[in-house]
Structure 1
Amino acid sequence: MRLIQQDYGEVVGRDRRNLSPALNLFYGLALAEALIFLMEKAYWSWRISFCKLLEKVSRECDLGEVSIRRFFYDTYSKCIEGSVFDGLKMNLVTFAEELLVSELRDEQLIGVRVLHKLATIDRFSLDTLRKIGSSTRTIERLVEMLNWKNTGEEEEIRMRAAEIVSTLAEKRRNVLRVAAIPGAMEALSSLLVVDDSSDFNLLGLSILEKLASDHEDCWKIGNTRDLLPKIIDLTSASKTLLRNDHAAESQIRTVMSSLQVLKKLVSTTGYIGQILRQEVSEIVFTVSNIREILQRGESHMVLQSWESRS
C-alpha cells in the first residue's frame, strides 16, 4: 500500500529528496522477496501434488515414500527456518546420518534404511561410502548399533548397520577407521553366536576377515576377550552336518567364513603372528574341529579342499 500511496509521512528539518526513492527500493525488495517465496511455494506444491515428484524419486531410488517425503520436508523446513543455503547443504546421506543419531527408534530405522540402500546401490555407493567413511560420528553410531538386541525394530537396525559396516570395510582406509572405534571388536564379537546359523554370524565373520588384513587389527582381534574362542567354535561342524548333502548353505558358509578368518590370523607375520598361533593352538577345540572336517566332510568337499590348502 505504501508503494501505491507514496505516503511516507512528514520529514521535518531534513532533505527528503532521497527519502522516497530509498523507501521505494526498500519496500520493492520486500515485495519481491515475498513474491519469490510465494512463487517457490507454488512451484514445489505443483511439482509434488501434480507431477508426483516424491513418488518418482521414491521409485527411482527405491528408498520408500516415507523416507523421501521426510527428507523433502526436513530440507524445506531448514530453508524456511534458516536460509536457502541450509537446505542446499542437505543431501540424503547427511539426512540419514542425522536420523541415525536420533533418540527415536522410528527415525533411527529410517536413517539406517536410507544409508543401507544408498551404500548398496552401484549408482550411489561410491559417494555414500566415502561420506560415511569421513564421518567418525556416523561410524561410531553404526558400530554401537552392532551391540543392540534382536528385538523388534532393533533387529532390523542392527542387521542393516552390520551390512553397512561390512560394505564399508571393503576399503582399506575404512578398515582402519572402523577398527579405531573404541569397542569395535567387542561389538563384532557380539554378532557371533555359537550354535546359531543366523546372518549375524556371517556378517560378523565377513567384517572380521576384512579387518584381519591389517597387522594391528589381527592383534586387536586376538586380544579381544572371548573373540578368538568364538571364531574357533564356529569352525565346529557336527557329524550330522558334514554327512548331510542337503545341509543349509548358511551353516556351511559359517564354517567356511570362520576358517577363513582363522587362516588370516595364523598367517600373520612377525611377533604378532607368533603370539596368535600360540593362542590358537592352546584352544583345545582348534585341532579337533579341523580334524573332524578332514575326516568326515566327504559331502562338502569345498571344506576339505580348503582345509588341505590351509
Structure 2
Amino acid sequence: MSRYAVDLIDSDSWDDQLSGVTMLATFIRQGADVRCLLLPSKSRIQKLIDTLGWRATASREMREAAACIVAHLAGDIHLAQFPGAIRCISTLLEDETLLAYWSNCDQQQEFPHLRSGSRSTMHTLIRVTEKIMPEFRHVVQKPTSSGCNELILQGLTILERLASDHHNCMDISSTPGLLSKILAPLCSSTLIRGINNSSTWADVVNGTFKVLCSLIRCPGSTGESLRREISANQQAISNLKSILDRSNGAGQELQMRAMEIVTELALDSSTNTTEETKENLMNQQLEIFLLDKESDAISEKLQTTAGRTLALLTANTKPNSSRVNDSFGRLTKLLDAKNNIKIRIAAVQIMENMCVHCDLDKGRVKDTLLPQVLAGIQSDKRGARQRGDAKQKNSSSAGDEENQNKLAPGNGDENHNSSEQVDNSEIQDSPSTTDQNESSDEGNDEQAATKELQGGLLSLTLVIYDKLISPDDFEDAVEKKGLGNGELFVKKLKTILKENCKETITSLRIVKLCGQIATSMMSRNKYTEQFKNQGFVDSLSEAKKIMSNLESCILFAETDIQLKKIAAPLLSELEKEVLLLVG
C-alpha cells in the first residue's frame, strides 16, 4: 500500500498527489518507516520539500501531510543537495508567526502608536502585519486553527532533525531571518505568561527550544555565535532562569530544554559566564537530580537531564565542597542496580568528576563508594541479561510466541531493515509492527546504556585507584565484595576486555580502561602474577589488531571532546607498558 502511495506522488494529477502524501503521512503517524522508499529518489524528496513552500497553490491539507513526511526523512536530508529547501521549510514557521503576534501581550511595545482601547487597533495591526506576511488574513480568520499549529510544529521538528548534521546547522543559521524566528519566543518579554496561559503556545516554545538545543551544540563558529547571541540578550537569560525555577509553573519538558541551553552557555568560555552563575546552576541541577520521583512528582527524563548536564558542568568546574559532602551518600545510592540505568550513568560521571576536583573523605570513598562501584562492574552484565530474560518470559506468558521470536535481539535489525515492512499486509497490522520495532530499539538502547555504564564504572575505578586510595585499601574493598584476594577481579577485567574486542567507540573506551587499570595496578606491584597467568597481554594484543583502524579514525575527531579523550593512550602504548610490567 505504501508503494502505491509513493507512486501517486509521482503522478501529474494534483488529486493523486494529494492522495499519495495523505496516505504516506497516515502510515508514518501509525509508526511505519517509509524512508527506504523515498530516500533513494532525490526528485521525490525535492517535490515534497517544494510543496511546503506552495502556500499560494497547495492546500493546507497537502502541506501538513508533506511536512509530516519531510519530518520523517529530515534526519537523513542534507540541505546542500536540495536547492531552495531551507526557504521552503522556513515558510512553515511564517503562518504561526502571526499567531504569536495575535497572542503577544506586549504588541504595544512593538507598535507604540496603538492604544488598547482604540477601535482601530485591530485593523491597524492587520494592515501593519499584512505587509510582513501575506498569509496574515487567513490566520486572523482562524486564530485558533489547529492547522496553523500543526504546520509550525512540523516545521520545528524538521529543523530539529536537520540540525543533527552540523553542515545543515550552518545552512539554517545563515538563512536570512530564520534564526530570528527561532529565537523570537526565547527573547519575548511575555514568554512566561504565554506558556502558563496557553498549552498551544507552550508546545511551540518547546519546539523552538529543541531546535536551539541542536543548533547551540554545533561545532565551530555556528554554535559559538548563537551561544554569544543568547548570552548577550538579557531577556533571553531572564526567561531561561525563570523556566528553571520550578515554582513558576513551566512544564518539565521546557525545564529540560532550558537546562540544556543554559549548560551549553556556561560551558562556553566566550560567553563569560560567572563562577557564581555556574555554581548556582550546578546546585539547582544537583537538587533536581537528587529529588525522589514519587514524592516530588518529577519525571525520570527531567531527573536524567539534570544529572547529564550536571556531569558536563562538574567535568569543567569545581563543585562546592560542602554541597558535595552533603550529597555524597545520596549520589552513591544512585549507583545501585535498582535505579534506572541512565540515572546510574549520570551518577557515575558526577562522582568521577567530584573525585577529580574535590577533596573527598577517603574513608567514605573506600567504605561506601568503591564497594558500590565494584559491585556494578561485577554484576551489571548479568543484571541486564536477567532483565532481558524476564521480558521474554512475560512475552511468552502472553501466549505470543511468534512475536517473541520477532522481538529477539538477533532479529531486531533484520526486521527493521526489511523493505517488506511497509507492504500492505504489514500496514494493516501497524500497531503490532510498531510494537516490534519499539521493542527492538529498546533492546538496543539498553545494551548501549549497559556498555556506557560499564565504561563509566571502570573509569571511576581508575580515578579512585590512582588518586584516592592505597592498593591495600583497594584490596580490602575487593575482598568485601567477595572477589577473593584480587585474582577474581583480574579475571573479570580480562573477561570484560575479551567481550569488548569489537570495532565500536564504547568498546574501544572499555578496552583502554581495562588496560589502564591493569598498568596502574601492576606499577604498584599488585596482581602482576595474576595478570600474567590470565594471559592479559595476549588479549590486549588481539584487541589492538581488531581496533587499530577505528583508533586511527578517532585521531582525526578534532571537534568531539569525548572522542579526543578516548584517543589517548594508544593501544600500542598500553600493550608495550603491560608487556614491560609482566616481564
Relative to structure 1, the CA distance from residue 215 to residue 44 in structure 2 (aligned partners, 3 Å threshold; closer, same or farther) is farther
In the other structure, the counterpart of 1:309 is: 516
CA–CA distance in structure 2, aligned partners of residues 182 and 91 of structure 1:
35
By how many angstroms is 1:143 displaced? Answer: 0.7
Maintained 8 Å contact 1:143/1:165? yes
Deviations 1:86-124 (A, max 9, x none): xx99443343233333335635653442131343479x8
Maintained 8 Å contact 1:116/1:163? no
**2:350 partner SS:** helix
CA–CA distance in structure 2, aligned partners of residues 153 and 128 of structure 1:
31
In the other structure, the counterpart of 1:3 is: none
Relative to structure 1, the CA distance from residue 113 to residue 201 in structure 2 (aligned partners, 3 Å threshold; closer, same or farther) is same
By how many angstroms is 1:180 displaced? Answer: 4.0
Relative to structure 1, the CA distance from residue 228 to residue 136 in structure 2 (aligned partners, 3 Å threshold; closer, same or farther) is same
In the other structure, the counterpart of 1:28 is: none
By how many angstroms is 1:166 displaced? Answer: 1.2
**2:315 partner SS:** coil
Maintained 8 Å contact 2:289/2:306? yes
1:228 matched to 2:370? The reply is yes
Maintained 8 Å contact 1:235/1:259? yes
Relative to structure 1, the CA distance from residue 76 to residue 63 in structure 2 (aligned partners, 3 Å threshold; closer, same or farther) is same
Deviations 1:179-217 (A, max 9, x none): 745533234334323166722222111222222223613
Maintained 8 Å contact 1:146/1:187? no
Counterpart code for 2:481: V
In the other structure, the counterpart of 2:345 is: 202
Q: Count residues with an aligned counterpart.
A: 252
CA–CA distance in structure 1, aligned partners of residues 182 and 331 of structure 2:
27
Maintained 8 Å contact 2:373/2:461? yes
Deviations 1:51-98 (A, max 9, x none): 59xx89997499898x638x5216899xxxxxxxxxx99443343233
In the other structure, the counterpart of 2:301 is: 156
After TM superposition, the structure 1 = structure 2 runs for residues 260-299 of structure 1, keeping only pairs within 5 Å, are 260-268=459-467, 273=470, 277=474, 280-285=477-482, 287=486, 288-295=488-495, 298-299=498-499
CA–CA distance in structure 2, aligned partners of residues 154 and 275 of structure 1:
42
| TM-score of the two chains, using structure 2 as the length reference | 0.35
Counterpart code for 1:192: L
CA–CA distance in structure 2, aligned partners of residues 44 and 226 of structure 1:
67
Counterpart code for 1:99: I
CA–CA distance in structure 1, aligned partners of residues 346 and 299 of structure 2:
16
Counterpart code for 2:370: L
Counterpart code for 2:357: D
Show structure 1 runs of 5+ residues with no match: 1-36, 78-87
**2:459 partner SS:** helix
**1:233 partner SS:** helix
By how many angstroms is 1:294 displaced? Answer: 1.5
**2:320 partner SS:** helix
Maintained 8 Å contact 2:192/2:242? no
Work out which of the residue numbers 210, 214, 239 in structure 2 matches 1:95. 239
CA–CA distance in structure 1, aligned partners of residues 181 and 369 of structure 2:
37
CA–CA distance in structure 1, aligned partners of residues 450 and 279 of structure 2:
34
In the other structure, the counterpart of 1:166 is: 311
Maintained 8 Å contact 1:202/1:254? yes
CA–CA distance in structure 2, aligned partners of residues 198 and 129 of structure 1:
34
Show structure 2 runs of 5+ residues with no match: 1-105, 115-124, 134-151, 157-172, 195-231, 386-408, 411-443, 502-506, 518-583
CA–CA distance in structure 2, aligned partners of residues 91 and 187 of structure 1:
36
Work out which of the residue numbers 183, 186, 191 in structure 2 matches 1:68. 186
**1:192 partner SS:** coil
Work out which of the residue numbers 436, 454, 472 in structure 2 matches 1:255. 454
| TM-score of the two chains, using structure 1 as the length reference | 0.60
Counterpart code for 1:231: V
Maintained 8 Å contact 2:240/2:262? no
Determine which structure has more spread, i.e. the larger CA radius of gyration.
1
In the other structure, the counterpart of 2:360 is: 217
By how many angstroms is 1:137 displaced? Answer: 3.8
Relative to structure 1, the CA distance from residue 308 to residue 136 in structure 2 (aligned partners, 3 Å threshold; closer, same or farther) is closer
CA–CA distance in structure 2, aligned partners of residues 63 and 219 of structure 1:
49
